[in-house]
Amino acid sequence: MKRIGMLTSGGDCQALNAAMRGVAKTLFNCLEEVEIYGFLDGYRGLIYGNFKMLNSRDFSGILTKGGTILGSSRTPFKTIQDPDENGIDRVEAMKHNYYKLKLDCMVILGGNGTHKTANLLREEGLNIITLPKTIDNDLYGTDMTFGFQSAVNIATEAIDCIHTTAASHGRVFIIEVMGHKVGWLTLNAGIAGGADIILIPEIPYDINKVVESIQRRNKAGSRFTILAVAEGAISKEDAALSKKEYKEKLKNNPYPSVSYEIAAAIQEKAGQEVRVTVPGHTQRGGSPCAYDRVFASRLGSEAAKLIMDDDYGYMVGIKNREIIKVPLAEVAGKLKMVAPDATIVQEAKMLGISFGD
């Protein structure tokens, strides 16, 4: 008998259900006896013992379903070792519920913060397997995270739709793409959508360079310019500030996001009409694309194999198109950033795309 716990933590994204299905279907198919306990609303479910037993029928028909059948929540790593409002030691509570149910393993699906907590539980002696979920594609140790390609498709479609209205009205359009700390999503969607300017957190922009790029297009006869801007894009001036100074600036910033600040600067310096479009959470919603369905299913199946082999303490990822296992200790707390000199950035620049630098 194998007793498996499962939870999804952090922001939702496409293919969470597909990944859980991959784990469950493999276990049910390969083992005679298995029990799966689904903890509700992320780590909160494990802390407070809120779970439900799941059978094979619960995983039927969810391959194409977005979101997560278990619900999710954010439980910040920086406070996970602090007592809750009732004085409950959250780490000890998670360990208690794990041992109370006599679990052989916890399967945890999540992003960067989720992996920090998962690694902490591993260090506390729990058997842990994780799966890399995030539309940001910023998890260290894997070439790809599930949810990313689906989000790229949605952000690209938003840029595609803006192209026609931008061309019709001869305007500058900014599409704000998700990504606070890394720019993989904006970079890929920007290239796929034919953006003229791409601004990402890893390459601080000079607003004068951005305006110059727009004016060059105007002189060349282009009636419009498309900017794909990551929500974490930062100017060279702001990048030079200390963390404390930058946080203080954001508190007093009259603009709802960086895209509106950039739009105001372009209008002032170039005298052009600018519109901002924010696809927002649509990028995390809807059905997973075909790539993510296959990818998440493969990850889930490999996670189940590790469980059957009693091989714990790993994140299941992908390298060079092959599914691999990566020690959790090597993953937790590390971000996979876009290198400013990465080949994909160099290639984008050769295509004529400006990064405002």
> Which strand ranges, in their side-by-side order, compose the sheet holding 314-319?
51-54, 34-39, 2-8, 105-110, 128-132, 314-319, 322-327
Catalytic site includes residue 136: yes
Q: What is the DSSP string of 131-193?
A: EEB-TT--BTT-S--BTHHHHHHHHHHHHHHHHHHHHHHT-EEEEEES-SS--HHHHHHHHHT
Interatomic CA distance for residues 259 and 263, integer angstroms: 6
Phi first, then psi: what are they for 225, rounded to 5°?
-140, 135
Residue 169 neighbours by CB distance under 10 Å: 12
Close Cβ partners of 149 (under 8 Å, ≥ 6 residues apart): 289, 291, 292, 295
- Of 199, 217, 222, nearest to 348 (Cα)? 199
Task: Point out the catalytic residue in the list 136, 138, 196, 292.
Answer: 136
Letter for the amino acid at 181? K
Residue whose entry in the numeric block shows the structure tokens 């060059």: 216
Q: Where are the alpha helices (DSSP H) in 225-316?
A: 236-239, 243-251, 258-270, 290-308
- Would you name the residues annotated as active-site residues? 136
